[in-house]
């Protein structure tokens, strides 16, 4: 940390303090291999994002940039009818962000066992043969998730394992499906069920596509779309999205 930046961070004007703290954070981020967004990026100031942050304050889940991607996706679907499905709810943070940004009334179907991850399989092994997860990781108190989303009457919980809980919504159509289940088998099963029920121009978002801990999720997406006309768009947030063709 440069002495000049340290001095301005403590004793400078408000503008200089903000600038100095950004320079310090950016330098440390580059040193450790992550990116700090520039202060001129306006997505952090969007009213729907601020609303989402307010609603999700203290709720554990995916970070702000990924939450904003989900908000941007659902807002882009304002003219597409259909429900929203989320596979992997945890405490409800990502659902809260989407609900805060959605511009039309929809039913949100939330799928989670709340018992944590199922047992990883061989296709979830990383190139070095190790597993990034173990059975039961990311378990969450169901009552906590329900409490975090209690203010919304358009939310329906489906508690249990994927794909056992899917038949309850077999007659529904979807505008957006968020898949955040980390492992190969539940990701594959979610794609097999939801893609044929996705509206034209609807989207499927994979939270885990770019994570080195989740090679199975990436493999499931790559295999599923290998022979389909839809392409996978990989994002620097670690997410990937697919838009269904008309």
Question: Considering the chain, what is the average pLDDT of its residues?
Answer: 91
Q: What string of DSSP letters covers 111-127?
A: EE-SS------GGGB-T
The conformational region for residue 58 under phi > 0 = left, psi -120 to 50 = alpha, else beta, is left
Helix (H) or strand (E) holding 201: strand 198-206
- For residue 181, which of 168, 196, 170, 166 has the smallest C-alpha distance? 166
Neighbours of 209 (CB within 10 A): 25
pLDDT of residue 3: 52
The predicted-structure confidence for 177-233, as pLDDT tens digits, reads as follows 999 999 999 999 999 999 999 999 999 999 999 999 999 999 999 999 999 999 999
- For residue 58, which of 154, 153, 144 has the smallest C-alpha distance? 144
Give me the count of residues in the chain.
Answer: 246
232 exposed, middle or buried (CB, 10 Å; 0-12, 13-18, 19+)? middle
What percent of the chain is modeled with pLDDT above 70? 85
Place of tokens 């330098």: 27
pLDDT of residue 246: 80
- For residue 220, which of 188, 182, 175, 172 has the smallest C-alpha distance? 188
pLDDT of residue 7: 46
pLDDT of residue 41: 86
Cis upstream peptide for 166 (omega within 30°): no
Mean pLDDT calculated for residue range 54-76: 97
pLDDT of residue 32: 63
Is the confidence at residue 149, as pLDDT, over 70?
A: yes
Buried b (16+ CB within 10 A) or exposed e, 147-182: ebbeeeeebebbeeebbebbeebeeeebbbbbbbbb
User: Which of helix, strand or coil describes residue 189?
Assistant: helix
Mean pLDDT calculated for residue range 65-90: 98
Is the confidence at residue 4, as pLDDT, over 80?
A: no
The predicted-structure confidence for 20-62, as pLDDT tens digits, reads as follows 655 655 566 567 666 666 778 899 999 999 999 999 999 999 9
């Amino acid at each position: 940390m440069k002495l000049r930046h340290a001095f301005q961070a403590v004793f400078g004007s408000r503008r200089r303090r903000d600038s100095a703290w950004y320079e310090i954070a950016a330098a440390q981020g580059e040193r450790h291999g992550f990116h700090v967004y520039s202060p001129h990026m306006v997505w952090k100031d969007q009213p729907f994002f601020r609303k989402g942050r307010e609603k999700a304050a203290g709720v554990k889940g995916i970070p702000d940039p990924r939450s904003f991607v989900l908000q941007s996706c659902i807002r882009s679907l304002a003219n597409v009818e259909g429900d929203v499905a989320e596979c992997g709810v945890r405490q409800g943070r990502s659902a809260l962000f989407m609900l805060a940004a959605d511009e039309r009334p929809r039913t949100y179907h939330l799928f989670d066992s709340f018992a944590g991850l199922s047992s990883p399989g061989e296709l979830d092994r990383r190139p070095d043969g190790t597993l990034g997860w173990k059975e039961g990781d990311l378990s969450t108190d169901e009552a906590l998730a329900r409490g975090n989303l209690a203010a919304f009457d358009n939310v329906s919980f489906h508690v249990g394992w994927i794909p056992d809980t899917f038949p309850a919504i077999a007659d529904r159509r979807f505008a957006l499906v968020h898949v955040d289940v980390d492992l190969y088998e539940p990701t594959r099963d979610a794609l097999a069920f939801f893609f044929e029920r996705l509206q034209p121009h609807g989207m499927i978002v994979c939270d885990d596509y770019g994570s080195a801990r989740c090679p199975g999720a990436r493999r499931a997406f790559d295999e599923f779309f290998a022979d389909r006309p839809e392409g996978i768009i990989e994002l620097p947030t670690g997410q990937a999205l697919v838009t269904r063709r008309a």
